[in-house]
Amino acid sequence: DTEDTTMANRTLIAAAGSLLMLFNASAFAWSGGHFNAYTPRGTYSGGHAMSCGGGSCSHAGGVVGPYGGLATNTGTVTRNAPGQFSNAGTAVGPNGRSVQHDGSTSCAGGTCSHTGDMTGSNGRTASTDGSVTRNGAGQYSSSGTVTGGNGNTYNHSASTNCAGSTC
């Protein structure tokens, strides 16, 4: 199992890196990595890669679950102006179904606000609207709304305190 997990990590990293090189050949910065998450349901192994250049950063990543299912996520974030960003990408689950997602983010005065839309491979849609605020050194709060295509709305909020590398 350890050998299979190691091979899965290497395969994910290689695939993610290949996608980025194919779609972003003019990039000047690259980073990548892998992880293992040990849970009561089993081990999840993943990898990711990111490349930036020309005001945009592209990413690709994936995770393999304990039963071999693969989920991936690819996308791009673009800086349109100071404090203004747009994003688009695709997430694909182990069942092959996908979600196209896009959105825009505006940051000013310690708060970043985001709106976005998602469309599943089955045609169903959802939208998001939320914000994150830096309240002080290492202190953040967030709130937002997710609205499904059927009109049902779900609200969420959270806060985080961070010191050093621990939150």
CA–CA separation, 23 and 27 (whole Å): 9
pLDDT at 163: 84
pLDDT at 19: 37
Whole-Å CA distances, 137 to 56, 105, 134: 28, 22, 8
Digit-by-digit pLDDT tens for the chain (167 residues) are 444 433 334 333 333 343 333 334 444 455 678 888 889 999 999 999 999 999 999 999 999 999 999 999 999 999 999 999 999 999 999 999 999 999 999 999 999 999 999 999 999 999 999 999 999 999 999 999 999 999 999 999 999 988 887 77
pTM: 0.70
Phi/psi at 55 (5° precision): 85, 5
**Element spanning 131, H or E:** strand 125-136
pLDDT at 58: 96
Region of 66 (left: φ > 0; alpha: ψ -120 to 50; beta: rest) is alpha
